Structure 1
């Protein structure tokens, strides 16, 4: 297995006003300190693990050059994948024997494709890519069982196996990105997946043109920027979406509200917005947003989840691996990390079969 220790890859993660290379190394080491010996990365020790945030933290470790620990996180997923290709939504402290939510969320399961492609691009590890392909394949097949007539994908299977009503715009945007990564992995194997191509195209069409397909979560900032971050909207359309609700969600000098109605800015949403800004070519404003959330950085290199500015109070009193991971990934994109740029920039990822193409071929 190829691998490096934390800190060896952080020299290029210096971004003025955000952190130095040495501070980036401290942040990466703090994420590594949360990781269990078996590879699991809970939010923080004693809290739960969910697969989506586990993968985001693993991607950050790869961006920081700690490929050994990142690979361990993916091997944890491989060992604990359920027979239907899914994972449970939450595990107590990352202990696979103690699931605390036996529901199965589609965006949590799909995201393994983005993480596996990111790790492969960061390391060139062919053995890893081949070992993880069956994991990705099974996860994608599980997710696509919940695709609906309009192209959207239901957000969850309940513990009794029934599919929940409704699809989430944020979750489906993330799934769309993950499906494109899965198609890229299939191309690397010369293993065409035409059903995935069609499903990806249908989902992208729904995200761009049919907001009525999704549950109304418009008060959440993730629903605002995620179609841009995950690549469903780019160019002029992506920039217009960002500008449309900027005053509603952005608190100048502090960060991004999680919910438009609450006086609460959060580090994860702020870093993800920065990544979305980078993706549409606005690196200057992306760096500015990252500088704003310096007030959330703790001495141990992790980041507080959020700040209630009406009360001038840090809340909740927690520092999560995924918040720190989102900052590292945003900085990695801004400073030219190729693997991060490929997965989040998306220029070289397959787009799937667009709905208009389907009509032309019918």
Structure 2
């Protein structure tokens, strides 16, 4: 049976036949023997985009390749729980900083892997990596709730915060808490840290972009608080509508920034998931369906498109872009048990401990409802 034939009628036509297979094959073709997934062959790998590509592999059923990708994070994690900003060909490429949202994202990837595989032994095996990473990240949280974006080469905090980065951390904290609860481990300071971070994202805009120009021109600052669950319900719908015409180009997708004629595939995928999270399915499907024009014959997707020039730019097919395509496809078509991770984020109840499988979310809390 083809991928399209396996879909319910309401989701048929979201992607071409062979999309999942070809997309995963492209990511596999770029993965290195040690498990690292660089942006593309000859490029660097960073911990966040590496995880995004690994989640794409898991969605396609390539669990061994995904697990190998997470093992690479085990093998390269520093003693303090962090990773450097970039790696290339088995060595550190950028030792200037370690970024907090990059470090936290391992929790999202491991929880996503578990939701698909149901492998509780694997969850236990990766727990120490997640724990060290989250402790590092929460060590950068201020009394106001926001989390510093990075530390420098000597480990000194770079004292400012990013809305997009902190939103990603908010989702990662949700996933880390769920891992802890599934394993029967109590981490109340993770929960209080998540609560404070959500409150900062919703009510303390002055705590972000304090030492540099505002990042408001970037579309991710607009929709990431919705995508990651920090803003939900009516507030999320209002937020997306307020800047819709500023960032969305009808028939093409989502701009990366509001002052350049450049739409990007990954941002468009993430916007589609944010729309789905707010109940705007028709809009989400419309954004997503138009992206397949930028798939190449090898299964990769070009990163972006400059529409006045009718040209792809940059001339790169990034693995994380393909990962984002697979995540959006899963969210829209329900391909795996992890399909709701970015559209209906949930905290497990504390009683849901040490339970085999993934179908026991009978008691949950919607992301953003507690702060």
TM-score of the two chains, using structure 1 as the length reference: 0.91
**C-alpha spacing 1:138/1:44, structure 2 compared with 1 (3 Å):** same
Between Structure 1 and Structure 2, the one with more helix by share is 1
SS of match in other structure, 1:339? coil
Does structure 2 retain, via aligned residues, the 8 Å contact 1:198–1:353? no
The 5 A counterparts of 1:100-139 are 100-139=94-133
Q: Is the 8 A contact 1:201 1:353 kept in 2?
A: no
Q: Deviations over 1:93-141 (max 9, x none)?
A: 4x2x233344100000001111101101111111110110000000000
**Does 2:82 correspond to 1:86?**
yes
**CA RMSD for the aligned pairs?**
2.2
For 2:113 and 2:367, the matched residues in 1 are separated by 26
Q: Does 1:252 align with 2:246?
A: no
Give 1:355 deviation, angstroms: 11
8 Å Cα contact 1:86/1:142 also seen in 2: yes
Distance of 2:116 and 2:369 partners within structure 1? 32
Deviation beyond 6 Å, 4+ runs, structure 1: 7-11, 351-357
Q: Of residues 233, 238, 242 in structure 2, which corresponds to 1:235?
A: 233
How many pairs does the alignment contain? Answer: 349
Partner residue, 1:39: 35
Which of 145, 168, 172 is the matching residue for 1:174?
168
- Residue number in structure 2 paired with 1:189: 183
Aligned in 2, Cα 1:353/1:124: closer, same or farther, shift over 3 Å? closer
Helix, strand or coil at the partner of 1:157:
strand
Rate the CA distance shift 1:338–1:356 in 2: closer, same or farther, 3 A. Answer: closer
Match of 1:303 in 2: 301
Q: Gaps spanning 5+ residues in structure 1: where?
A: 1-6, 358-362
Deviation at 1:299, TM superposition (A): 1.4
Q: Which residue of 1 aligns with 2:331?
A: 333
- Using the alignment, how far apart are the partners of 1:353 and 1:329 within structure 2? 19
In structure 2, how many angstroms separate the alpha carbons of the residues matched to 1:339 and 1:9? 16
1:275 maps to which residue?
273
Unaligned ranges ≥5, structure 2: 349-364
Alpha carbons of structure 1 residues 9 and 153: separation in structure 2 relative to 1, 3 Å: farther
Q: 1:356 to 1:35 in 2, by over 3 A?
A: closer
Is this contact kept in 2: 1:200–1:353, CA < 8 A?
no
1:27 matched to 2:23: yes
Deviation at 1:22, TM superposition (A): 1.3
Q: Using the TM superposition, give the Cα deviation of residue 352 of structure 1 relative to its aligned residue in structure 2, in angstroms.
A: 11
**Contact 1:198 / 1:354 at 8 angstroms: preserved in 2?**
no
- 1:356 CA drift (Å): 8.1
Closer/same/farther in 2, CA of residues 284 and 269 from structure 1, 3 Å limit: same
Q: Match of 1:323?
A: 321
Give the SS at the match of 1:227. helix
SS at the partner of 1:343? Answer: coil
Counterpart Cα distance in 2 of 1:40 and 1:268: 20
Q: 1:160 aligns with which of 138, 154, 166?
A: 154
* Contact 1:198–1:352 (CA under 8 A) maintained in structure 2: no
Question: For 1:82-101, what per-residue CA distance to the aligned partner results, in whole angstroms no more than 9, with x for missing partners?
Answer: 000001110124x2x23334
Residues 1:198 and 2:192 aligned together: yes
1:75 to 1:356, Cα distance in 2 relative to 1, 3 A: closer
Instruction: Select which of 278, 282, 286 maps to 1:288.
Output: 286
2:273, 2:343 within 8 Å by CA — same for their partners in 1? Answer: no
**Aligned counterparts of 1:11 and 1:146: Cα–Cα separation in 2:** 48
Partner of 2:138: 144
